[in-house]
Structure 1
């Protein structure tokens, strides 16, 4: 039996990971500037929340899933078996899969814009977010106990969300200008 799961565990994990990211942010902001430190802390926190939402069992602790009963491969049916409603937000699971990656894409741009190499770092970071999504789906396939389904549609939706976040981040960078010298 997988001992942890449900909305309560996800919220507790989000709170605890938020505290850890807050400590990191506060430790960095004097050396790196407020905008960059908070952007990095937010990026790290968004990645932690994505892991919590996608890798913890949705309905609490699950039963044992035997090897011969688990899925043998990911669903490659685009549009997939995702239900129309989801247990956190009304609307489709696909919308949630898009929305959960938007903050990571936006904050990635703000973090990378501090350096001149940002124009190279952002596309690499977008590929890293895509790889993160693939790793999550692979983990869902391999760990049948977490009662999650591996679906290629989730990867498409996650990457779409990350790309929309990058577009929003490009606008956000013009407002925040993280390359400025830190304030005294």
Structure 2
């Protein structure tokens, strides 16, 4: 039996991880600029929230999910059937999958452009690749762990990467606007 699940567990997990990362950001702010520390902490928090939302059973502890009842491979039915929604996003699972990765995309750009001594325009594409790999990893875990009552679907990866790219575009735009505003008093 998978012992935990449901939205309250996801929310408590997000709050707990958030509190730990606030402490980390404050401590990191002692040796790096505060915006850098907060953007890295925010990126880590967004990744933790993604893991909580995608790897904890949504409807509570599902009990026993027999191995015979689960899929042996990922669904390759692009745009295929998806659940009707999530407790906050009633418009559909695909929208949630996209929106879930937007903050991570924005924070990849912010973290990459705030760190000294690195090339942000090399780190941003690497960040997108890392977010895509993270999405693939989540889908693999969903496939391998039948007990969490989740399904592996290539459509989820497409939606997640789309969200990350939307976030990156928004982040690049935000950084460009901020630089223009700083250069004009």
Equivalent residue, structure 2, for 1:60: 60
Shift of 1:51: 0.2
Partner of 1:89 in structure 2? 89
State the partner residue of 2:171. 169
Cα deviation for residue 175 of structure 1 reads: 4.6
Q: What number of residue pairs does the alignment pair up?
A: 178
Match of 2:16 in 1: 16
Counterpart in the other structure of 1:158: 160
Q: How far off is 1:84 after superposition?
A: 3.0
User: Structure 1 unaligned runs (5+)?
Assistant: none
- Residues 143-171 of structure 1 show CA distances to partners (whole Å, capped at 9, x for unaligned) of 11111111100000000000000001112
In structure 2, the gaps of 5 or more residues are none
The answer for the alignment partner of 1:104 in structure 2 is 104
CA distance in 1, matches of 2:91, 2:23: 35
Return 45-54 or 62-71, whichever deviates more: 62-71
- How far does residue 29 in structure 1 lie from its aligned partner after superposition? 1.5
Match of 1:78 in 2: 78
* TM-score, normalised with respect to structure 2: 0.91
Taking the aligned partners of 2:86 and 2:80, their CA distance within structure 1 comes to 14
User: Corresponding residue for 1:128?
Assistant: 130
List 4+ stretches of structure 1 deviating above 6 A.
none
**Take 2:100 and 2:28, find their aligned partners in 1: how far apart are those partners?**
25
| Alpha-carbon offset, residue 22 of structure 1 | 0.4
Residue 174 of structure 1 deviates from its aligned partner by 2.8
The answer as to whether partners of 1:5 and 1:61 remain within 8 angstroms in 2 is yes
